[in-house]
Structure 1
Amino acid sequence: MRNSTCGLQPSLATTVALPVIYSFLFIAGSFGNILTAWVFSRQASTKRTQYIYLVNLVTANLLVCSTMPFLAGYFAKGNEWTYGSEVCRVAYHLGTIVMHVCMYVTITMLCTIALSQYATLKKNNDTQYSQTVTKNLYRNVLQKFRQPKFAKYFCIFIWLVVLCITVAAITYDARARREQIFHTCYNMKVEIGEYTSKIAASFATACFFLSFLTVLLSYYSLSRHLSKIQKNTHIGQKHLIYKTVKRNILVIQIILTVCFLPYHIFRPIFYVLLPEDDCSRINYLVEIKNFLTCLCVSRCSIDPVITFLLDKTFKKSLYSLCKKSTPEHHQRRADIFTEETPPI
């Protein structure tokens, strides 16, 4: 493998800062997502499409959070563990592999939520909007994202793909460990990967940019339509939903841009810039990659905060549960989890 003779020497930023950050994100993310799941389970209807996507998003967030202790341990002690040790295998399998796979589940769910929110508007649209979006596109694609049955099957398909990828990656890694020997767990193979892992990373990067452009196109199309109807008609109560959905899609776009875009821009550049013999430069590039990965993971911890700040329905439901209100009041709150104003 290229650069296999170069030993990685992590700096204090890797051995101290990253474990501290991951530990903090684990506590904050676990608490926030468990609280979010509790509110959804008590207040939202399981038959609503948006609820299905959000539950799967929270599930993916919790799985990513569960990998953070392993990542913290790997960066803190990975340079001391032997490559063939059980603790190294557990940290790599349950940390790096599961974290990356579930990270792309969250990206997929964010894109799906944006499409679902965008498709929601068709339900309340007028003839003018029907001219903006191709009818065949809506009938064949967009409306599917509003159907609970499709949402369930789609999420099941995503998790089956995740399971297959995870099992294949762990099996391949276990076989590769028999052929190559490294002194430490924190090494070139894990941090840079071989040909197969680079191909997988390239495919994942392409999938991210597809999701990114899909959300961007949805926001652009919605903005254009909202601008037209603002010029031609008065925005009444019926059209307030446009602004809410536009805001929600914008928030998803910002999350993808701030948390995920830097990593996916740097990842192909990372492989191009890797030198043949400059170990110091390799260490520097690897640490940049690891901090950008941490930025991606941080989204799972800030997502509940964004939901609480932007979604009034979620906030009111949380307050009502904390005050131990009556069952009738709970049911009334559950009824306001509508498709028209779904949470982030």
Structure 2
Amino acid sequence: MRNSTCLLRPSSATTVALPVIYSFLFPLGSFGNILAAWVFSRQAPTKRTQYIYLVNLVTANLLICSTMPFLVAYFARGYQWTYDSTVCKIANHFGTVIMHVSMYVTITILCSTALNQYATLKKSSDAQYLPAFNENFYRCVLEKFRQPKFAKYLCLVIWLTVLCITVTAITYNVQARALEEFHRCYNIRVEVGEFTTMVAACLATACFFVSFMTVLLSYYSLTRHLSKIQKNTCIGEKHLIYHTVKRNILVIQLILTVCFLPYHIFKPIFYVLIANNDCSMLNYLVEIKNFLTCLAAVKSSLDPVITLLLDKTFKKSLYSLFTKSTPEHHKHKAAVFTEDSQSVKENGKNISNNKLILTTYNETLI
């Protein structure tokens, strides 16, 4: 690499701002995700497909949070460490591998979660609204995302694939760096990487945009589907499941757009611009890359907060773990159930249709 002799000089934005941000995100994300994992282990059904995706998502979030103390130390003191020191190797190798593996596992599982939501809602819809040419697609692809066994194997494949690609790139870089001498831990080879790192980054970027477009197309298709239903039937209160799933997919789309899209747009630009011999520009490019990586890490800390605000099932489960059930509570619950049952009967719908809607609601509301 032509810029291998460029000496990186981190500004206060890197040595102060980034450690402060990661120091704030670490306890917030760790506490929130541990609490979410505890709620899932106590309340969530283990055979539920959505539960499998959520458990893997929480695991990826916790792994990202575990790298934050290393990132705090690296950005605050990395420019003072020697390259062959133990702290430098731990911060770079451990932090880099875990951070990037967990990031792309999160992206792929978010895409799978959106497809699971979309497939569940499609299954509950009348066949007359489903395009004939999409019949095989729904049966062969979408239906798979609703199966717990498929979800387990898919998550396992995602973890292994991303881990193998990342470890291979990091291992190759370690061997290549051994041929050269660096005085500082915070250097161009650590921040940019070798050729294999660039190839892995290109594959990861392509994976992100495939996931991004998949979620976007799911949301667009779902919006069209709901518009078609509304033209033929009246969507009452018990059909709020449609809007709930639409909202969930929209939230996933917003997460991908706000947290991950800027990083993946900038990454190809970064690799093109570093070919120049301008060392000053390279310092700015590296710092922008690190801040966009931090933006992607924010998602892992905010996930439990978003789940608490949007997911009624999670909120009720969390509340039930901290409160004791009383006879008055059971009476109130029974009264609400009786009142809701009478309300449903007054709508003039048959019992089988109501059971289908209620079952769909329980399956799709995460």
Q: Is the shorter-chain TM-score for this pair beyond 0.5, marking a shared fold? A: yes
- Tell me if structure 1 keeps the 8 A contact 2:61–2:106: yes
Q: What is the SS of the residue equivalent to 1:52?
A: helix
TM-score by length of 2: 0.88
Aligned to 1:83: 83
More deviation, 302-311/233-242? 233-242
Deviation at 1:86, TM superposition (A): 1.3
Q: Taking structure 1 as reference, are residues 278 and 157 closer, same or farther at Cα in structure 2, changes over 3 Å only?
A: same
- Tell me if structure 2 keeps the 8 A contact 1:97–1:169: no
Q: What is the SS of the residue equivalent to 1:154?
A: helix
Does residue 341 (structure 1) correspond to residue 364 (structure 2)? The answer is yes
Q: Distance in 2 between matches of 1:213 and 1:238?
A: 30
- Tell me if structure 2 keeps the 8 A contact 1:119–1:146: yes
Alignment: residue pair count: 338
Q: Taking structure 1 as reference, are residues 133 and 63 closer, same or farther at Cα in structure 2, changes over 3 Å only?
A: farther
In the alignment, structure 2 segments of 5+ residues that lack a partner are 334-357
Deviation at 1:337, TM superposition (A): 11
Q: Distance in 2 between matches of 1:133 and 1:98?
A: 42
Q: Taking structure 1 as reference, are residues 40 and 337 closer, same or farther at Cα in structure 2, changes over 3 Å only?
A: farther
Q: Distance in 2 between matches of 1:20 and 1:325?
A: 42
> What pairs up with 1:251-262 in 2 under 5 angstroms?
251-262=251-262
Q: Distance in 2 between matches of 1:275 and 1:245?
A: 45
Deviations for 1:165-192, whole angstroms, at most 9, x for unmatched residues? 3442343233223212111111101111
Q: Taking structure 1 as reference, are residues 167 and 279 closer, same or farther at Cα in structure 2, changes over 3 Å only?
A: closer
Give the share of equivalent positions with the same residue, in percent.
73
Aligned to 2:354: none
Aligned to 1:107: 107
Q: What is the SS of the residue equivalent to 1:103?
A: helix
Does residue 303 (structure 1) correspond to residue 326 (structure 2)? The answer is no
Q: Distance in 2 between matches of 1:96 and 1:321?
A: 36
Aligned to 2:231: 231
Q: What is the SS of the residue equivalent to 1:179?
A: coil
Deviation at 1:338, TM superposition (A): 6.2
Q: Distance in 1 between matches of 2:15 and 2:25?
A: 16
Aligned to 1:136: 136
Deviation at 1:199, TM superposition (A): 0.9
Deviations for 1:256-312, whole angstroms, at most 9, x for unmatched residues? 000000111111111222253221111011111110010001000011000000111
Aligned to 2:217: 217
Q: Distance in 2 between matches of 1:337 and 1:65?
A: 34
Aligned to 2:318: 318
- Tell me if structure 1 keeps the 8 A contact 2:2–2:277: no
Does residue 276 (structure 1) correspond to residue 276 (structure 2)? The answer is yes
- Tell me if structure 2 keeps the 8 A contact 1:267–1:289: yes
Amino acid at match of 2:55: V
Q: Distance in 2 between matches of 1:336 and 1:56?
A: 24
Does residue 36 (structure 1) correspond to residue 36 (structure 2)? The answer is yes
Q: Taking structure 1 as reference, are residues 7 and 88 closer, same or farther at Cα in structure 2, changes over 3 Å only?
A: same
Aligned to 1:118: 118
In the alignment, structure 1 segments of 5+ residues that lack a partner are none
Q: Taking structure 1 as reference, are residues 336 and 32 closer, same or farther at Cα in structure 2, changes over 3 Å only?
A: farther
- Tell me if structure 2 keeps the 8 A contact 1:84–1:177: no
Amino acid at match of 1:312: K
Deviation at 1:244, TM superposition (A): 0.5
Aligned to 1:184: 184
Larger radius of gyration: 2
Q: Distance in 2 between matches of 1:133 and 1:341?
A: 25
Q: Distance in 2 between matches of 1:114 and 1:153?
A: 17
Aligned to 2:9: 9
- Tell me if structure 1 keeps the 8 A contact 2:29–2:65: yes
Q: Distance in 1 between matches of 2:130 and 2:152?
A: 27
Amino acid at match of 1:268: P
Deviation at 1:243, TM superposition (A): 0.6
> What pairs up with 1:143-222 in 2 under 5 angstroms?
143-222=143-222
> What pairs up with 1:16-35 in 2 under 5 angstroms?
16-35=16-35
Q: What is the SS of the residue equivalent to 2:210?
A: helix
Deviation at 1:153, TM superposition (A): 1.0
Q: Distance in 2 between matches of 1:293 and 1:164?
A: 21
CA RMSD after TM alignment:
2.0
Deviations for 1:81-123, whole angstroms, at most 9, x for unmatched residues? 1111111110011112210111000000100000000000132
Q: What is the SS of the residue equivalent to 1:158?
A: helix
Q: Distance in 1 between matches of 2:212 and 2:22?
A: 25
Deviations for 1:114-143, whole angstroms, at most 9, x for unmatched residues? 000000013211023322770111111100
